[in-house]
Amino acid sequence: MFIWKKGFNYFDTSYAYHNGTSETAIKKAVVEKYPRESFKICDKMPTWALTSEEDNEKFVNEMLERLGIDYFDVFFGTTLTDHGLKMQKKTNTFEYVKKMKEEGVARKIGFNFHDKADLLKEVLEEYVDMFDIVQLELNYLDWEDPAIEAHKCYDLCVEHDLDVYVMEPLKRGVIVNPNDEIKKDFKEFNGEKSIASFAIRFCASLEHVKIVLSGMSNMADMLDNCDTYENFEPLSKEESEFLDKMAQKLADNLAVPCSECGYCVDACPEMIPIPEYFNLYNTSKNQPESNIYRLYFDKLCDEKVPADECTYCGTCLDYCTQKIDIPEELEKVVEHFQEGSAHTVKKPSFLIH
């Protein structure tokens, strides 16, 4: 297998990925073909699906069966937000995951963290010595962002001597799809290196970071990632300072700091595709000349649920990993596209008030 030869052998999956088919796909593509010790599998407890303490065991057994393995190399107890912490306490999931490690069902344990430093501090103090890893949303855009506090969260992990695994090193594509001015800045700074390679090196240069999970959507992305690691160089001071400036420029152009994690979508009783609206809104701010207005009306309002069907019920707020005031931002999205569309496309009748 190509990636094996390049030294990649870590497979990150979950009960829910790809509508529940990810674990079975890994079983067929990896587990049934290669010796167990030659690869590592990370899986995660579907805390959102647990209704009782007994469910911990039920789901773990099902996940092991789907994967065709008898132990996990890494197992994450929960996706931790304030809401997730309350949920795991009801089902005693952390204690169950600790038992998994003691019994050899999981070799290393940890949790996905999606909240601010105060909560991480509280969790690490309460469950001190239980975990090996914290998986953090970490990238140079979120590093000093007060809504995410990636830097502070990383420092807490260092203080507790925990390994850090990184999710969202490219902030779901926001970092690698900047406006033309930022693209030009990167080209002038170093035209030989991709924007993604800087973002990955930012994360992988941090001493406690052991794994960086980067989203790749095509072969070119994968080759670029392989090249970054094969010829890995920690960020220089000059590169670090350049990325600080780019982070500021990106932040100035970002309308909503949505990471497109999607947790709000299942919570919304109106089934509004919230991250898709925020994505278009951000793109529209960066690329005002694009065909974005038509996408908004035709692909989202028409084919899915219009953003102005938000009832302000507030259910989504508990689920947002970025602490975004979703109903307020959706209102801005609607205003932005309605105003902009007056100059570009004819508004559909259901949006004319």
- Which positions touch ligand SF4 (CB under 6 A)? 258-264, 267-268, 270, 272, 274-275, 278, 310-316, 319-322, 324, 326-327, 330
Q: Shortest Cβ distance from residue 85 to ligand SF4 (Å)?
A: 16
Q: Shortest Cβ distance from residue 5 to ligand SF4 (Å)?
A: 36
Cα 296 to Cα 284: distance, rounded to the nearest angstrom: 10
The gap from C-alpha 265 to its chain's centroid, in whole angstroms, comes to 15
Cα 114 to Cα 207: distance, rounded to the nearest angstrom: 21
Q: Shortest Cβ distance from residue 269 to ligand SF4 (Å)?
A: 6
Residues forming a β-bridge with 163: 133
Yes or no: say if 35 and 68 are a contact pair by the CB < 8 Å rule. no
DSSP states of 26-51: HIIIIITTS-GGG-EEEEE--GGG--
Segment holding 137, helix H or strand E: strand 133-137
Q: Shortest Cβ distance from residue 235 to ligand SF4 (Å)?
A: 26
CB nearer ligand SF4, residue 168 or residue 239? 168
Count of CB atoms situated within 10 Å of the CB of 47? 25
CB nearer ligand SF4, residue 143 or residue 242? 143
CB nearer ligand SF4, residue 138 or residue 330? 330
b/e burial code for range 29-39 (CB count within 10 A of at least 16 → b): ebbeeeeeeeb
DSSP states of 229-273: HHT--PPPHHHHHHHHHHHHHHHHH-SS------HHHHH-TT---
Q: Shortest Cβ distance from residue 53 to ligand SF4 (Å)?
A: 27
CB nearer ligand SF4, residue 143 or residue 186? 143
CB nearer ligand SF4, residue 67 or residue 175? 175
> First vs last Cα of the chain: how many Å apart?
57
Q: Shortest Cβ distance from residue 329 to ligand SF4 (Å)?
A: 8
CB nearer ligand SF4, residue 206 or residue 261? 261
